Each structure stands twice: as structure tokens, then as C-alpha cells.
Amino acid sequence: MACSRRAFLSGTVAAAATLTACGRSPSSPSTARFDLTAAIERTEAQRPHSGRAVSTTLTAQRSPVDLGGVNVRTLVYGDSVPGPLIRADVGDDIAVTVHNRLDHPTSVHWHGITLRNDMDGAAPATPDISAGQSFTYQFSAPRPGTYWAHPHTGLDADYGLYLPVIIDDPREPGDYDAEWIVVLDDWTDGVGPDPQQILDGLRSRGMGHMPSMGGMGSRLLGGDAGDVRYPAYLINGRVPAAPTSFSAKPGQRIRIRLVNAASDTAFRVALAGHTMTVTHTDGYPVVPADVDAVLIGMGERYDVVVTAGDGVFALVAAAEGKDALARALLTTGAGSPPDPAFTPTELTGRVGTVSMFTAAPEANLWSGHSDVNLQARLSGGMMRYDWAINGQPYENHQPLGIRQGETATLTFANATMMWHPMHLHGHTFQVIRADGSPGARKDTVIVQPRQNVGVALIADNPGIWMLHCHNTYHQAAGMMTSLDYTG
């Protein structure tokens, strides 16, 4: 396996080096001879290593799942939605053996973790796992935070193949008494059309049995909220009529780790009767900010802290612009749960959106200087369903190039009438606000229609890294390119 992987990577590097030789400095031997495999090993040696091993197994398979009285047979890790939590400390040697019992190739991508490129779980850096085969992802995670894992193959991400990943820093225990992991999803498989039928319908508007799409507008998302109206929305794998319940004591400080694992749905999340203090965006600390609700796009994570009241409270994730919701309950005392359709007033209070948050000083990376300016122009539309980056679908993509050690600004220029949650693998970036000031550290950022969003990043993790829209259907239609290290 190690042997074939090395050969595979060498092939990729050769392609990247050729591109560079044509584009930049044809005579530079250092560029032409860039050894990506060696660069990945050098970078891995610089990551923290605790010497402790954390090993687990995931089996991707079709299995019956109870979503709370709604029974489906779907694709899951093991037999639950979400899959089992993976938790480790910074620097632990994480080894996850994945058995692929699906009828097609799959992968596991470690979303947000700045790990070694050949364990990223996205082709071509990591080859997909063939049906019936197994593969062990082995890596150390250099930063604490709230992450998650999901396949990077076809429409696999719109089934139940996802799980939370938490990386702890034992030196930073955190100022909270309890922790609640909340994973949001939009659900169709086994209830409505399956994901392939949805994509086929989107590609041939009016010809298929497409879910209704009228009137899904959102002020917070700058227009159309999504492409698909889902039959169900889930928190931790349950429909609103049969919610999970989290128990705590009144007065306890609860850290809520919100993960949006949905395919086409942003959620506006609020806890009835509580103010939320946002502490982290995509795993990185922010200057704490109080909000009544927070907007979370696909792939994003927000950590918030609440001080628990006394009673039974609904945590509601309203499907933004789709007039539907998911929910869970917080139980700290006597009381009965509100009606499944109940919407807390906090949803229409102060709603936290990305531009409101600023990285904590230790998470700052934008100095105002960049060596390279990269651009990802987002194009396409609903009628032709031809989502693309820099004018090309992924199959024809021209990689963005970067050299190790460079500081770059990357501008997402959205020429479309839709919003897109843009995600970069292997790196986190800092949002640069419209006025030039440094914003939140993120790996996924909402880009509104006709909006330009600039982010700063440091090229410190050599590899071939996917850059794409985290709307599963936009990505499948081709809204993906790559950031390739060329030296």
C-alpha cells in the first residue's frame, strides 16, 4: 500500500511540476524537481506527536436506521446516524481503519484538520477505497477543535455517512462544565427521492420528480437559500417529533459544538431562553461574542457556551429559508417539551454571521501582506446546473498554484445568484472583512450571491488540496478545483 501510494503521489507531483515549469520559471530546477512526498514527510515530522495511539474502525455500509419513528435503510458508518464520535488529543497517532462495504468506492475526509496530504481522504491525494476493500487513515492532528468526517466521493455525503471528530488540547481544559455535540443534517434517503434522483432532477429541471423549490429566500444568505427542499431535518440523527435530550444542571456552563453536516441547508440555531456566547469558528477561538442565534452553513462549525436555565428547553435549528426545522432538547429540571413546531423568539434576535466574529489574538494570521493573490471565481446557475470555479468544472480544472512558505490572499468572487459555502482542505484561513480588517479563522466560509470574500492563508502544508463548494450537489456538478503546491 505504502509503495503504490508513493508511486501515485509521484505521478501527481510530476503533473504539478510540469504545470509550474510552463507557468512560472521553466529553467528552475528546484521547481521542476519538487519532491512532494518528501515535503509531506518533513511537515509531518514538525507536527506535535504525543506518542499515544488512538485506534478505531469504521464500516461504511447500508444498514437500517431509526431516525425517531422514521425507519430507513441507508448508508452509514456502523449502524447509527451520526457515526461514532472520534476523539483524540493534539498529536495523538490517530489510526482509523475503514472497511468499505458499499457497492462503490468511498473515502473518509477529515474536514478541517490540517493533516498530512496523503491522509486527507480526498482523491487524488488519497486514493478512494474500492468496494470491498479497507484502508487505514493514520495521522496526527496539530490543533484542538471541533471537526467532522465524511466521504469525498460522489453524493455519499448526502446519506448518513458522517461523524463528529473532536481534538482536545490537554493543556487547555476550557471553561465549561458539560459538553454537547450537536450535528445538523438535511435528510431525504428513504423518505423522499434518493440523492442521485435529486441530482438527476436538478440537472434536468422540469423533467424529473424534483422536490419543490419555490420561495426559498433568505435575507441572511442574500437570496435563494438552497436548491432542495428536504422531507426531514435532523439533529443527532432524529426528527423533531422524537428529539434527543441532553441533561445538565441549572447554572452549568455548557459548551455546545455545532456541526452542519447537511448537503444543501444552512441552519439558524437558537436555544430557547438562552443567550449563546460564540467561542470558536471552525475550531479556532474568536473574541467571545454574545448572540441569540447563529447562522451555520454546510461544513461549518460553531462552538458556543450557554449558562443553563432550569427546565426543558428546545434547541432549534431552523432550515434557513426553507420553513422547516430540526430540534433537540436541553433538560435541566421539571417541565414538558414544547410542541415539535415551536420556534424560539431567539431565532429572530441577534443572529451571528461570519462577518461579526474576530479571531482571538493567538489565532491571527493576516498581517496585511501577501506574496500571492489567488482568485476563485464562482460561476453557474440553476437552469443549466453548471456550477464551476474559474470557468471550469472540476474535470477540466486549472489548479491554483502556491509554493511552500508563501502567504496568500484568496478571493472568492461569486458571480452567481446563489450563496456557496466554500471549503479549503488542509489549511485554515482568516477572513478579511470588506474594510480590510482581520475576521474569523475558518476553513469553510459563506459567500453570498454577487459577493467577493477575501481570505488569507499561509502555505504550510504541502500537497494537492481540494477547494470546493460544500453544497453536495454543486460539488458533484463540478464546483471544485485544487490548490497545488509547486515548490
- We find the least distance from the C-beta atom of residue 477 to Cu ion, in angstroms, to be 9
- We find the least distance from the C-beta atom of residue 387 to Cu ion, in angstroms, to be 6
Cell of 280: 470558536
- We find the least distance from the C-beta atom of residue 27 to Cu ion, in angstroms, to be 40
* Rounded distance between C-alpha atoms, residue 473 and residue 477, angstroms: 6
Q: Which is nearer to Cu ion, 364 or 375 (CB)?
A: 375
- We find the least distance from the C-beta atom of residue 261 to Cu ion, in angstroms, to be 16
Q: Which is nearer to Cu ion, 143 or 420 (CB)?
A: 420
472 φ, ψ to 5°?
Answer: -55, -35
Q: Which is nearer to Cu ion, 399 or 478 (CB)?
A: 478
Q: Which is nearer to Cu ion, 461 or 472 (CB)?
A: 472
- We find the least distance from the C-beta atom of residue 475 to Cu ion, in angstroms, to be 7
Q: Which is nearer to Cu ion, 195 or 487 (CB)?
A: 195
- We find the least distance from the C-beta atom of residue 215 to Cu ion, in angstroms, to be 20
Contact yes or no for 352/269 (Cβ under 8 A) = no
Q: Which is nearer to Cu ion, 248 or 424 (CB)?
A: 424
- We find the least distance from the C-beta atom of residue 118 to Cu ion, in angstroms, to be 27
List contacts with Cu ion (CB under 5 A): 420, 469, 471, 474
- We find the least distance from the C-beta atom of residue 95 to Cu ion, in angstroms, to be 33
Rg for the chain, CA atoms, rounded = 22
Q: Which is nearer to Cu ion, 152 or 474 (CB)?
A: 474
Q: Which is nearer to Cu ion, 269 or 469 (CB)?
A: 469
